[in-house]
Amino acid sequence: MDLYQVHFPNSRVPIAETMGAMEEMKERGKLLAIGVSNFSLQQTKDANAALKKAQLASNQVEYSLRKREIEADLLPYCESNKISIIAYFPLGHGKLAGSGAREKMETVCKAYSKTPAQVALNWLVSGRDVFAIPRASRAEHVKENLGASDWQLTPEDRKLLEAAFPR
């Protein structure tokens, strides 16, 4: 496996035991990278410290323009320790593609000729170590979401969006 993530922290199992097993699988060549999911800042630090040879590769957490709590502590820690953020619910369950979000993002969408979903996803991923995993069951949504890459919002437009969706 390229990346194996622990889905949730488990208070009944010591993190050293879990990370020890992950590292053993890595040493046996069963997986390339070790990640976690839904880990707080302290839990992420503990998981990383429990690894003897490997470094934590990722933490999959909820992150979108509508949900920016990780910016207070987890995101800066992950950025300085080269741990990728994998953002789930990147479209806020689809709300960031809806009419309410469209109103808030209108100026930016027009400036780049992009849809709200494309702008919301680009804001997440461009220029930083964040990956978005949007879910889409409709083919046209998948195609539209692919248009979120290969371009970049300016820092000024990022700020405009952040002001429209305050933390």
Ligand X SMILES: NC(=O)c1ccc[n+]([C@@H]2O[C@H](COP(=O)([O-])OP(=O)(O)OC[C@H]3O[C@@H](n4cnc5c(N)ncnc54)[C@H](OP(=O)(O)O)[C@@H]3O)[C@@H](O)[C@H]2O)c1
Residues at the contact surface with ligand X, assessed by CB under 6 A = 7, 37-38, 60, 88-94, 97, 117, 133-138, 141, 144-145
Q: Which is nearer to ligand X, 80 or 99 (CB)?
A: 99
Give the nearest distance from C-beta 145 to ligand X in angstroms. 5
Task: Closer to ligand X by CB, 24 or 69: give it.
Answer: 69
Question: Closest separation between CB of residue 94 and ligand X, Å?
Answer: 3
Helix (H), strand (E) at residue 34: strand 33-37
State which residue, 113 or 137, has the beta carbon closest to ligand X: 137
- d(C-alpha 23, C-alpha 32), whole Å: 10
- CA dist., res. 76 & res. 68, Å (int): 12
**Assigned token pair, 80:** 């300085």
User: What backbone torsions phi and psi does residue 86 show, to the nearest 5 degrees?
Assistant: -105, 115
Residue spans of alpha helices (H) in the chain: 15-27, 41-50, 74-80, 99-112, 116-125, 139-146, 155-164
Task: Sort residue 92 into left (φ over 0), alpha (ψ -120 to 50) or beta.
Answer: left
Whichever of 28 and 87 has its CB closer to ligand X, that residue is 87
Shortest distance, position 59 Cβ to ligand X, whole Å? 10
Taking the complex as a whole, the smallest distance from the CB of residue 142 to ligand X amounts, in Å, to 7
